[in-house]
Amino acid sequence: MYLSRVIKMVFLLSLLALLVPASLARGQTMGTAVIRSSSPGLSDQMVVNLVDVSILGTDEVYEGWLVSDDGSESLSIGVMAVDADGAVSHTYTNADGLNLVSKYDTFKITVEPVPDTDTGPSTHTVYSDTIPAAGMMYIRHLLHGCECFGLADDAGITVKLWQQADIAHQQAALGVDAATLSAIQTYAHTVINVIEGSDGTNYDASAGDPGDGHGVLSHAADTKDHVGKASAAVPTDSTIVKYSSNASDSSDNVVTWSGEARNHALDAISATSITVAKAYMTNANTLMARSRDGYDADRDGTIESITGEGGAIQVHVAAQDMATYHPSTFVPAPTPAPTPEPTPEPAAAPETGGISLTTYAWAALASSFFLIIGGSYLLRRRSTN
């Protein structure tokens, strides 16, 4: 009876030893640091959300940094507070509206002293992640600009896509409000010009073109081309591949809705009455609103970057998501070496406070295996007896 109770106790202890250190041994910070915009198209914000972050003492703080491609420049995104549960929720907005994708490809978090007289990052980096250069090249084309398509390098492709969709929507709205058939049809022409661009089959320069001449459809095609190249350049990067798909799906939506809006504008041009022309322009206006802002097709309160929902703004956000930084294993601050005592001290009971949770976790994990082995031995011995 006694041996049976011992065996049960051994296995109970081994189970507890396995369960207790499991979460401690992992010791990982989880979350994201992602580029966002204070206004459409700027990409001037960094939003950081982390959990399970170790809480520092009062003489240290965490500070976030964006680091340039060559490592020569570091931009502080500020000191990041950690709440009592170990969570970080921090938003940085560049005061000058700097596009944070323009020259930074690395995000890191350092531990800084309090007070801190150095304006640069310390050497104690607890987390760092870099967007692969092959993928970042295309992400920059999408969000910041590129010398391509014969256009000025003043904005990214997804920014231009949103801007042109917005202009076409405005022109359609003016057509809806116009008082004469001639005015309605003029706005219908400008809507077509902005959607198709100067190379479009239905382009009519005589009606005027408030767009950039490249057209919504062409910017959507350029977006799809670049997100495809980004995912092909780094096929093992799950973040870039995932959000490239989201951007591509939303680009397809823009093409579909803008194409339908163009067709309604053509019908408005052919209409012989104000009532009919306005009805077609109302449809074009609705479709361009979807092209710009997306459409909550499933009525769940959220417009996702998926087929049938995402518009130009969701394309832009998905491109920003492609540049998401992900925390990896958190590296705790190094424990300083103890100061040697000048004279030997009497032996004392060891203090438990100096053992880190991670050390305890691995020790407990090892102990559990010895307990299991011991329990198995006792069980076999009992069965043979």
For residues 168 and 306, membership in a common domain is answered with yes
Amino acid symbol at 287 = L
Annotate 104-142 with DSSP letters as a single string: EEEEEEEEEESS---SS--S-EEEEEE--HHHHHHHHHH
For residues 315 and 179, membership in a common domain is answered with yes
The pLDDT of residue 23 is 33
The pLDDT of residue 272 is 96
338 in any annotated domain:
no
Structural contact between residues 282 and 175, judged by C-beta atoms closer than 8 angstroms: no
**Domain final position from 80, 108, 130:** 130
For residues 144 and 287, membership in a common domain is answered with yes
The pLDDT of residue 40 is 83
Helix axes 238-270, 181-196, angle to 10 degrees: 150
For residues 57 and 21, membership in a common domain is answered with no
> What does the alpha-carbon distance between residue 222 and residue 323 come to, in Å, rounded to a whole number?
18
100 in any annotated domain:
yes
The torsion angle over the Cα atoms of residues 154, 322, 136 and 87, rounded to 10 degrees, is: 110
**What's the token pair of residue 328?**
């990896």
Q: Which residues of the chain have pLDDT under 70?
A: 1-29, 146-154, 327-385
Strands 45-51 and 88-93: antiparallel
What DSSP state is assigned to residue 205?
G
**Domain with 58 in it:** 30-130
For residues 16 and 99, membership in a common domain is answered with no
367 in any annotated domain:
yes
For residues 379 and 298, membership in a common domain is answered with no
181 in any annotated domain:
yes
For residues 187 and 256, membership in a common domain is answered with yes
For residues 290 and 273, membership in a common domain is answered with yes
Radius of gyration of the chain (CA): 30
For residues 306 and 185, membership in a common domain is answered with yes
The pLDDT of residue 155 is 81
**Domain final position from 111, 130, 149:** 130
Structural contact between residues 285 and 176, judged by C-beta atoms closer than 8 angstroms: yes
35 in any annotated domain:
yes
Whether a cis peptide bond, with omega within 30° of 0, leads into 115 is yes
The position carrying tokens 């959990």 is 51
The pLDDT of residue 365 is 45
For residues 147 and 294, membership in a common domain is answered with yes
**Domain final position from 99, 130, 161:** 130
Rounded to 5°, angle at Cα 23 from 21 and 28? 125
Helix axes 216-233, 238-270, angle to 10 degrees: 170
The position carrying tokens 């490239």 is 244
For residues 48 and 19, membership in a common domain is answered with no
For residues 159 and 283, membership in a common domain is answered with yes
Give the DSSP H or E segment for 91: strand 88-93
359 in any annotated domain:
yes
**What's the token pair of residue 377?**
């031995």
CATH number of the domain that residue 80 is part of: 2.60.40
The pLDDT of residue 146 is 57
335 in any annotated domain:
no
Helix intervals (H) in 234-356: 238-270, 274-293, 312-321
Give the DSSP H or E segment for 219: helix 216-233
Helix axes 181-196, 274-293, angle to 10 degrees: 30
What's the number of domains the chain is made of?
3
**Count of CB atoms within 10 A of residue 173's CB?**
18
151 in any annotated domain:
yes
